[in-house]
Structure 1
Amino acid sequence: MLSLLKGEGGTNFIAWGITGSGSFIRKSFEVLKRIKERYGVKITTYASRAGEEVARMYGILDRIGEISPGRHYEELITEDVAGASCTYSGRFMLGRYRLLVIAPATSNTVAKIVYGISDTIITTIASQALKGGVPIIILPSDATEETEVPCYIDRERCTNCMECIDKCPFGAISELNCIPILDLMKCHGCRVCELTCPEKAIFCFQKAKIKIREIDRENIEHLREMEGVTVVESPDQLEDVIARTLGESY
């Protein structure tokens, strides 16, 4: 049975925290977008440094404006914007948000929340949300044994034609020793390379199996036991719990 503490204050604001995991990130974005459209809520997006990088390479960062267009309480707040003291975390103590959604949450983030460590923008706002009585919904990246990997070049299929270098609008692919090299730190996940490669040698967001460590399973269970925290296991469940928290079920 899923249970949540009801947010107080009647505000129409929710916060979304992005960590450095690609698993579920694209589906989580679509969930938040539908929630915004259905309920008219204002969404503040908080991203750790790793979260900002991953959001870019999975094609989400360039679309953040669709849910957080930049107005008050609809900003994209990164570590560089918030500063080392995370000045925006005070919003949670003031009860401005109905809830905080952290999706996906890396195993590192889960462990830090469980053990009370607040050294990133996401773990800091989680700590402040708990202190301020703001419900938290968390989708751990290790909730399932499946993940998505960012764009990559299949060397067995690639014929080194170099067409992808010219096609990439962000200069993320370059030539090194007559081989095209994809730099994920420049990749925006637009999939232009994948869609235009004549050899079908580039793949984006392919499914992959992972082995969940026992320590990560244990931390997720500890997370479930925390007051004010609800753990979900899929984007569909995430959407359902958010909807019920906002007063309506899909």
Structure 2
Amino acid sequence: MKIMWAITGAGHLLKESIEVLEKLSDKHEITVIFSNAGLEVVKMYGYYNKIEKIIGKNPNNQVVTEEEEKYSYPLSGKLTYNHYNQIIISPTTANTTAKIVHAIADTLVTNIAAQSGKGQIPLIIVPVDQKAGEITTTLPPHIDRNLCQQCKTCSAKNICPTNAINPPEIDKSKCIQCLQCENACDYNAIITDEKMKLYIREIDAENTKKLEKIENVTILNHPKEILENIIN
């Protein structure tokens, strides 16, 4: 089975999305699509190494970025020709959701969403802004400046396998979320799982509801539901 999985710039449900993507990649051919923000956020959270491992499982797997596709998005026009069986967008930001709802196709991901309908390729969307109100999400790894002592010999820096730690900063482009640094700091300055509360606006929740009216689209609340809904 040939699956196209698009990642937009949301941190919420990102870890869970990649976990499901890893499972699917054991049996299926995968093309990973990144919006510009999606690529930045995946690197910010230290998950890009996981994407590289997924791509390495199959010689036909590939990564396609918005930067590579420029403005004409040639990949989206080849969806039917390349015989993709399933398209997934997860996590899906409020911005991407709003554009899909209003039939705006001016990005790589929204263009793919539009072309999936024209080619009658099943599309699964996992939006992050589902119900108005408060949600809890996880922040990227970071160093608490109030706790960091900028020691001359930083034990966390020494243990980092990718040299991502340069107190009081973590180089997000190098971090691979190995979490070895978390317990290495004597001052508990390295935070890898901090939670933050966000408020989902009514307008964004309403747009999510409108997705249900679009033909050929399945809306799911959580990435884990993809495994139950995907065509085998």
In structure 1, what is the equivalent of residue 182 of structure 2? 194
In structure 1, what is the equivalent of residue 140 of structure 2? 150
In structure 2, what is the equivalent of residue 3 of structure 1? none
Distance 1:121 1:188, change over 3 A: farther
8 Å CA contact retained: 2:5, 2:32: yes
TM-score (norm 2): 0.87
SS of 1:112's equivalent in the other structure is: helix
2:25 to 36, 57, 76: 36
In structure 1, what is the equivalent of residue 34 of structure 2? 47
In structure 1, what is the equivalent of residue 195 of structure 2? 207
Measure, in 2, the Cα distance between the counterparts of 1:66 and 1:53.
Answer: 18
1:92 to 74, 79, 85: 79
Question: Following superposition, which runs of at least 4 residues in structure 1 exceed 6 angstroms of deviation?
Answer: none
Q: AA paired with 1:154?
A: D
- The answer as to 2:201 corresponding to 1:217 is no
CA shift digits 1:129-185 (9 cap, x unpaired): 11111111111122362222101222343333244445445554445xxxx133545
Q: Alignment RMSD, CA only?
A: 2.2
- The answer as to 2:214 corresponding to 1:232 is no
In structure 1, what is the equivalent of residue 99 of structure 2? 112
TM-score (norm 1): 0.81
SS of 2:129's equivalent in the other structure is: helix
Measure, in 2, the Cα distance between the counterparts of 1:86 and 1:157.
Answer: 46
Measure, in 1, the Cα distance between the counterparts of 2:166 and 2:53.
Answer: 31
Measure, in 2, the Cα distance between the counterparts of 1:90 and 1:205.
Answer: 40
Is there any run of 5+ residues in structure 1 with no aligned partner, and where?
1-11
8 Å CA contact retained: 2:125, 2:219: yes
8 Å CA contact retained: 2:160, 2:181: yes
Q: AA paired with 2:16?
A: K
Q: AA paired with 1:147?
A: T
Instruction: Give the paired residue count.
Output: 226
Is there any run of 5+ residues in structure 2 with no aligned partner, and where?
none
Measure, in 1, the Cα distance between the counterparts of 2:183 and 2:128.
Answer: 27
TM superposition shift of 1:118: 1.6
TM superposition shift of 1:85: 1.4
Distance 1:184 1:225, change over 3 A: same
8 Å CA contact retained: 1:165, 1:171: yes
